[in-house]
Amino acid sequence: MKKTVTTLADGRELIYYDTRDDVVRTAVDTRPLDPVTSATELRYDALLGDSVAVASHRQGRTYHPPVGECPLCPSGDGRQSEIPAPDYEVVVFENRFPTLAGESGRCEVVCFTADHEASFADLTPERAALVLDAWTDRTTELAARPGVEQVYCFENRGAEIGVTLAHPHGQIYAYPFATPRTALMQRQAAEHRARTGGNLFDDVVARERADAERIVLETGHWIAFVPYAAHWPYEVHLYPTRRVPDLRALDEEARTEFPQIYLELLRRFDRIFGPGEPPTPYISAWHQAPFTGADREEFALHLELFTVRRTSGRLKYLAGTESGMSAFSNDVPPETAARRLREVAGK
């Protein structure tokens, strides 16, 4: 992997990731951009014990631009985008409209390909491996920044999810705190350790492997399953078979095997609802351990992939009990979801 770091016209950092060492990136961003001004404020919720980012500047962010004005496509034909180069493999840059900025953290955009019409599932294994390298590199770089406690790499795909830019891309958030979901997992893991003496994540994976009914896919170094208490209609959790706290700790065997299993999972998601259906909207989320705390080695890196589509043409909307009380219900039994994801293998 070759990494080339440059800056955009307003001072934001942009990083090219290339598979070949002989690639030279010299394009310059000449847009007349004003410096980015972010007004993010973290407000603590005393009732729930979490924080809310108030970021009013995001009201002006780009919203469903025409294809010819996509800010994530390469620059060319007299039009300049967020990426100055006329082509690229993988690019990461600071978000122009960040939820978190300055002492409140950092937000980055990850472009997986220059092809506006593609999706992650269309990538070659080599390109998917390069994205994994970029995620890992950004986790390493952001972990070294003062005040960063956790790094979250994720992709939102589809208008139903709320995506405002159709170009295949994801995001990376560097939080100044451990997120509420992670903190809850850590509390559960600590209670499990105290009660049983075992590791919660290891025991969950062992239970799914022993049951086998919800296993979707397993290789030498990864296992994918629908969780026993899935919150979403179709939800898959992907774990490396050797527990590690974050992307930086993956061994070469797991890194080599990841593109094949992940691309297969994404392609199966697009087949769930049958031929002729539009691409399945999804959220794909890496869960990594916070960088401090004596229990970080107890945490297990894993990816959670889920869709809000519950059947053909119908979405799962959060009901009052779910939005108001975080008490979920699921119309699709996890065993049924796992069976369907096995049925659509390789079709």
Among residues 112, 80, 72, 69, the alpha carbon closest in space to that of 9 is found at 80
pLDDT tens column, 268-292: 999 999 988 999 999 999 999 999 9
Provide Rg for the chain, Cα atoms: 20
State pTM to two decimals: 0.95
Percent of the chain with pLDDT over 70: 98
Task: Give 35's pLDDT tier (boundaries 50, 70, 90).
Answer: confident
**Beta-bridge mates of residue 5:** 15
Pairing of strands 309-311, 314-315: antiparallel
- C-alpha to C-alpha distance for 12 and 97, rounded to whole angstroms: 11
pLDDT tens column, 9-26: 999 999 999 999 999 999
pLDDT at 236: 98
pLDDT at 294: 83
pLDDT at 77: 87
* Mean pLDDT (whole number) for 340-344: 97
Give Cα 114 to chain centroid, integer Å.
18
DSSP-derived letter for residue 243 is -
Q: Residue ranges of the alpha helices (H) in the chain?
A: 125-143, 180-196, 200-211, 252-269, 320-325, 334-343
208 vs 65, more confident? 208
pLDDT at 334: 98
Judge whether 169 counts as a catalytic residue: yes
Instruction: State the virtual CA torsion across 318, 181, 280, 59 in degrees, nearest 10.
Output: 70
8 A C-beta contact, residue 157 and residue 187: no
57, 64, 116, 169: which one is catalytic? 169
For the domain with range 2-175, which CATH number is right: 1.10.645.10, 3.30.450.90, 3.30.1330.10, 3.30.428.10? 3.30.428.10
* Mean pLDDT (whole number) for 239-261: 98
Q: Where are the domains of the chain?
A: 2-175, 180-343
H or E segment to which residue 154 belongs: strand 150-157
8 A C-beta contact, residue 71 and residue 165: yes
Q: Which CATH class is domain 180-343?
A: alpha beta
pLDDT tens column, 60-116: 667 668 878 999 999 998 899 999 999 999 999 999 999 999 889 999 999 999 999
DSSP-derived letter for residue 76 is B
- C-alpha to C-alpha distance for 117 and 45, rounded to whole angstroms: 41
Q: Same CATH fold, 180-343 and 2-175?
A: yes
- C-alpha to C-alpha distance for 280 and 264, rounded to whole angstroms: 14
8 A C-beta contact, residue 169 and residue 111: yes
